Structure 1
Amino acid sequence: MTNHLPSVSEAKAQAKRLRAKMNEEGTTVGHGQSLELIAQQFGFRDWNAMLAAIGNKPPRDWEVGAQVSGSYLGHAFSAQITSLTRLQPGWFRLQLELDEPVDVVASEHFSNFRKRIRGVVGPKGHSVERTSNGRPHLQIDL
């Protein structure tokens, strides 16, 4: 087995690229089979064994009390994690206590400062929800 294992999302992306390449070359491969092939490349008997070895831990050892930085509604922040819940592999619900409040309103006529925020982030550290300009509501630096 390799000492450096990819994250779950990286391994799935590798399987997707492998499947596309093999299908392009005339060998039809399903999603499950491509996952199995990637696992075997890393020395595992199957995808489930590789998934167990990778684990479903938060990125960079996130834990309650840890400091993180990122952006919320386009505003940079640094914060402490006050709550962390694993929802499914690679997806986490975070509650953050910001070091400095951020204004979540774009209007010049009034403000709404937030000191605490909650959100769900995926394997790439950002939320699914997006602002009107396409930016994730919540982005945690990985």
Structure 2
Amino acid sequence: MTHAITTRAQAKARAREIRSEHARAGRSLSHAHALESVAHELGYRDWNTASARLSNQPDIPLQVGERVSGKYLKQAFTGRVHAVRELAEGMGYDVTLHFDEPVDVVEFESFSGLRQRVSAMISEDGVSWAKTSDGIPHLIVAREDAAII
């Protein structure tokens, strides 16, 4: 589990998990001690060292202007990040993307619905919670160098 922690937000989430584990076992643990435990799990001397090191990592998965690719309503796209806004307490991100070429979001042959700029709420992994009627996420997005098409 600890190998996936690369940001302070993830480390703090792990500290909350540790506190919950202790609470379920009937033991009390302060948030400060939980943060120290996370630091030790990650191989750091203390939380201050871990926090300083982790703060050098980007806290959000996408940056404005960054090249991205993925799928929007089952259609492959490439484009740029136009806007990113963190949702409450890092639960996800509201992103606006501008596609290089418009994407036809209508599956019927009789007409088209082209979209070039779209907004969606996504998880840290770049996957929207909203899904099509057959269970496919509306948006799957990644940095172009880590494309998921």
Q: Please tell me the TM-score bracket, short chain as reference.
A: 0.5 to 0.7
Gaps of at least 5 residues in structure 1 are: 21-26
Q: What displacement does 1:122 show?
A: 1.0
From the superposition, tell whether residues 45 and 80 of structure 1 become closer, same or farther in structure 2 (CA, over 3 Å): closer
Equivalent in the alignment of 2:147: none
Report the TM-score when normalising by structure 1.
Answer: 0.66
Query: Does the CA contact (< 8 Å) of 1:84 and 1:92 recur in 2?
Result: yes
- Give the Cα separation in 1 of the matches to 2:87 and 2:79: 21
Equivalent in the alignment of 1:101: 102
- Give the Cα separation in 1 of the matches to 2:105 and 2:111: 10
Equivalent in the alignment of 1:74: 74
Query: Does the CA contact (< 8 Å) of 1:68 and 1:81 recur in 2?
Result: yes
Equivalent in the alignment of 1:124: 125
Query: Does the CA contact (< 8 Å) of 2:5 and 2:11 recur in 1?
Result: no
Query: Does the CA contact (< 8 Å) of 2:38 and 2:47 recur in 1?
Result: no
- Give the Cα separation in 2 of the matches to 1:9 and 1:73: 29
Number of residue pairs the alignment of both structures matches: 131
| Percent identity of paired positions between Structure 1 and Structure 2 | 27
- Give the Cα separation in 2 of the matches to 1:45 and 1:141: 30
Cα shift readout 1:89-118 (whole Å, capped 9, x = no counterpart): 252111111101111111222110111111
Cα shift readout 1:38-94 (whole Å, capped 9, x = no counterpart): 443123449xx75993576212xx322221111101111011111111223252111
Q: What displacement does 1:10 show?
A: 8.7
Cα shift readout 1:4-56 (whole Å, capped 9, x = no counterpart): 9535559858x97xx99xxxxxx7889x98x654443123449xx75993576
- Give the Cα separation in 2 of the matches to 1:9 and 1:111: 41
From the superposition, tell whether residues 10 and 71 of structure 1 become closer, same or farther in structure 2 (CA, over 3 Å): farther
Q: Which aligned pairs between 1:2-81 and structure 2 lie closer than 5 A?
A: 5-7=5-7, 8=9, 36=35, 37-42=37-42, 43=44, 44-45=46-47, 50=51, 53-54=54-55, 57-59=59-61, 62-81=62-81
Query: Does the CA contact (< 8 Å) of 1:102 and 1:114 recur in 2?
Result: yes
Report the TM-score when normalising by structure 2.
Answer: 0.64
Code of the residue aligned with 2:101 in structure 1: it is: E
The CA RMSD measured in Å over matched residues stands at: 3.7
Code of the residue aligned with 1:63 in structure 2: it is: Q
From the superposition, tell whether residues 107 and 123 of structure 1 become closer, same or farther in structure 2 (CA, over 3 Å): same
From the superposition, tell whether residues 113 and 57 of structure 1 become closer, same or farther in structure 2 (CA, over 3 Å): same
